[in-house]
Structure 1
Amino acid sequence: MDQNNNHIHCTVDSCVHHSAQNGCSLNQIRVGCCEGSPTSCKGTECDSFQLK
Protein backbone atom coordinates (compact mmCIF):
# COMPACT_ATOMS: atom_id res chain seq x y z
CA MET A 1 0.00 0.00 0.00
CA ASP A 2 1.95 3.01 -1.26
CA GLN A 3 -0.38 5.91 -0.63
CA ASN A 4 1.21 9.34 -0.56
CA ASN A 5 0.30 11.85 2.14
CA ASN A 6 0.94 15.23 0.51
CA HIS A 7 1.18 16.89 3.96
CA ILE A 8 4.18 14.85 5.14
CA HIS A 9 7.34 15.40 3.11
CA CYS A 10 10.19 12.93 3.60
CA THR A 11 13.40 12.13 1.72
CA VAL A 12 14.37 9.03 3.76
CA ASP A 13 13.82 6.33 1.17
CA SER A 14 15.16 3.60 3.49
CA CYS A 15 11.96 3.92 5.56
CA VAL A 16 9.14 1.45 4.94
CA HIS A 17 6.67 4.39 4.99
CA HIS A 18 8.49 6.39 2.26
CA SER A 19 6.33 6.83 -0.83
CA ALA A 20 6.49 8.38 -4.27
CA GLN A 21 7.53 12.00 -4.75
CA ASN A 22 9.29 12.22 -1.35
CA GLY A 23 6.13 11.65 0.62
CA CYS A 24 5.01 9.44 3.48
CA SER A 25 2.31 6.78 3.43
CA LEU A 26 1.34 7.44 7.07
CA ASN A 27 -1.54 9.73 8.04
CA GLN A 28 0.55 11.15 10.87
CA ILE A 29 4.05 10.76 12.29
CA ARG A 30 5.60 10.98 15.75
CA VAL A 31 8.57 13.31 16.24
CA GLY A 32 10.91 12.60 19.13
CA CYS A 33 14.12 13.97 20.61
CA CYS A 34 17.65 12.60 20.30
CA GLU A 35 18.89 15.11 22.88
CA GLY A 36 17.56 16.23 26.25
CA SER A 37 16.90 19.83 25.16
CA PRO A 38 17.28 20.08 21.38
CA THR A 39 18.19 23.47 19.95
CA SER A 40 18.12 22.50 16.25
CA CYS A 41 16.51 19.95 13.95
CA LYS A 42 19.56 17.70 14.43
CA GLY A 43 18.31 17.08 17.98
CA THR A 44 15.01 15.60 16.77
CA GLU A 45 14.02 12.48 14.83
CA CYS A 46 11.03 10.78 13.25
CA ASP A 47 9.90 8.17 15.78
CA SER A 48 7.68 6.61 13.09
CA PHE A 49 10.71 5.50 11.05
CA GLN A 50 10.88 1.77 10.26
CA LEU A 51 13.72 0.32 8.20
CA LYS A 52 12.65 -1.33 4.94
Structure 2
Amino acid sequence: MNSSDKYKAVKAEITAIYHENKGRYGYRRITTELHKRNFLLNHKTVQRLMK
Protein backbone atom coordinates (compact mmCIF):
# COMPACT_ATOMS: atom_id res chain seq x y z
CA MET A 1 0.00 0.00 0.00
CA ASN A 2 1.22 3.45 -0.88
CA SER A 3 -0.27 5.69 1.77
CA SER A 4 0.65 9.33 1.43
CA ASP A 5 0.39 11.66 4.38
CA LYS A 6 -2.89 13.58 4.00
CA TYR A 7 -1.78 16.12 6.61
CA LYS A 8 1.56 16.95 4.97
CA ALA A 9 0.59 20.53 4.04
CA VAL A 10 -1.02 21.11 7.42
CA LYS A 11 2.07 19.90 9.28
CA ALA A 12 4.23 22.31 7.29
CA GLU A 13 1.84 25.16 8.08
CA ILE A 14 1.78 24.27 11.81
CA THR A 15 5.58 24.27 11.87
CA ALA A 16 5.69 27.64 10.10
CA ILE A 17 3.18 29.22 12.51
CA TYR A 18 5.03 27.77 15.50
CA HIS A 19 8.39 29.16 14.39
CA GLU A 20 6.97 32.53 13.27
CA ASN A 21 5.84 33.01 16.85
CA LYS A 22 9.07 31.68 18.39
CA GLY A 23 7.43 28.66 19.96
CA ARG A 24 4.98 30.68 22.01
CA TYR A 25 1.82 29.37 20.36
CA GLY A 26 0.08 26.27 21.64
CA TYR A 27 -2.45 24.13 19.83
CA ARG A 28 -5.34 26.51 20.57
CA ARG A 29 -3.71 29.57 19.02
CA ILE A 30 -2.36 27.53 16.12
CA THR A 31 -5.87 26.16 15.47
CA THR A 32 -7.20 29.71 15.32
CA GLU A 33 -4.40 30.78 12.99
CA LEU A 34 -5.03 27.77 10.74
CA HIS A 35 -8.71 28.74 10.52
CA LYS A 36 -7.63 32.23 9.42
CA ARG A 37 -5.46 30.61 6.73
CA ASN A 38 -8.38 28.43 5.51
CA PHE A 39 -7.22 25.12 6.99
CA LEU A 40 -10.35 23.88 8.75
CA LEU A 41 -9.27 21.34 11.33
CA ASN A 42 -10.52 20.24 14.71
CA HIS A 43 -8.41 21.35 17.70
CA LYS A 44 -7.91 17.70 18.65
CA THR A 45 -6.38 16.98 15.25
CA VAL A 46 -4.03 19.95 15.57
CA GLN A 47 -2.99 18.81 19.04
CA ARG A 48 -2.30 15.28 17.76
CA LEU A 49 -0.24 16.58 14.84
CA MET A 50 1.85 18.76 17.14
CA LYS A 51 2.97 15.83 19.29
TM-score normalised by L of structure 1: 0.20
Pick the structure with greater CA Rg.
1
Structure (1/2) with the larger helix percentage = 2
Structure (1/2) with the larger strand percentage = 1
